[in-house]
């Protein structure tokens, strides 16, 4: 489990919690992405769950995005499509699940991690939770997560991150742009706020929350196809010599 990561589910008092972990800064290899998307769908289908919390383990990175080890091992477009479709699977699972999803971002979010934070319905963060869309720096682009990020922060802020791909934007910047609803000085303060909202929502009308979620995500029904098409773009670009060399350099620094 330590080498491949894990996804766990927990239900208590109407609150369903999905937690993911990977030893490499909570990065997400393909198998973990599939497991995470399935877990979100599974827990949302439980009649015991009124609201979902998405979180990761550890106190540093929330999610470092795609697994570099897996990216560098991709040798054909089909494998690339399957890998990047994993992010589409997780985003679409949150989009279609019918339950409101609360995000808990305790540390840095990079690439696909920004996509996860963008796909939740209400996101809490600490001041350590800076964000970066790093894909262009390795010759790809935030194609799959782009629609989710753009929906939350707008084209201008999304394009700033996508173009300035080596720069971290602060948690406060992310709050000002609408990605984070609230930013806290400590994890303890954040967790208290998450607990308060989750308990309040767990006693709210499931039907009303489901109807609200449908309205919030109006106009995204085509994402099932769109995000897979975007995954194909990343799957093609990841085969380039530029991307292979860039990833090798990043891994050497790490």
* Calpha distance 19→142 (Å, rounded): 24
What domains lie within the chain, and their CATH numbers?
6-206 (3.90.226.10)
**Ranges of residues in the chain whose predicted pLDDT is under 70:** 1-3, 254
Reported as a single tens digit per residue, the pLDDT across 47-80 is 999 999 999 999 899 999 998 888 888 999 999 9
Helices (H), the chain: 30-44, 68-72, 77-96, 112-119, 146-163, 171-177, 187-202, 206-216, 223-237, 241-253
Q: What is the pLDDT of residues 194-230, one digit of tens each?
A: 999 999 999 999 999 999 999 999 999 999 999 999 9
Query: What local confidence, expressed as pLDDT, does residue 2 receive?
Result: 42
Q: From residue 155, how far is each of 79, 107, 141, 146 by CA, in Å?
A: 29, 24, 14, 9
């Amino acid at each position: 489990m330590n080498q491949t990561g894990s996804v766990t589910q927990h239900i208590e008092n109407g609150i369903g919690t999905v937690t993911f972990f990977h030893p490499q800064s909570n990065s997400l290899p393909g198998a973990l992405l599939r497991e995470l998307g399935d877990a979100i769908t599974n827990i949302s289908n439980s009649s015991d769950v009124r609201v979902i919390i998405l979180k990761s383990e550890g106190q540093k990175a929330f999610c470092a995005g795609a697994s570099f080890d897996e990216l560098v091992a991709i040798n054909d477009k089909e494998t690339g499509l399957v890998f990047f479709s994993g992010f589409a699977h997780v985003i679409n699972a949150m989009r279609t699940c019918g339950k409101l999803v609360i995000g808990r971002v305790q540390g840095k979010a990079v690439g696909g991690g920004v996509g996860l934070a963008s796909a939740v319905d209400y996101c809490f963060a600490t001041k350590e939770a800076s964000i970066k869309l790093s894909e262009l720096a390795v010759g790809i682009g935030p194609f799959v997560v782009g629609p989710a990020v753009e929906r939350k922060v707008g084209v201008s802020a999304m394009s700033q991150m996508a173009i300035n791909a080596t720069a971290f934007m602060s948690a406060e910047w992310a709050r000002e742009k609408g990605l984070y609803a609230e930013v806290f000085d400590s994890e303890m303060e954040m967790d208290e706020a998450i607990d308060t909202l989750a308990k309040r929502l767990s006693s709210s009308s499931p039907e009303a929350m489901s109807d609200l979620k449908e309205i919030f995500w109006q106009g995204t029904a085509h994402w099932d196809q769109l995000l897979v098409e975007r995954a194909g773009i990343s799957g093609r670009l990841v085969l380039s010599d530029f991307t292979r060399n860039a990833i090798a350099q990043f891994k050497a620094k790490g």
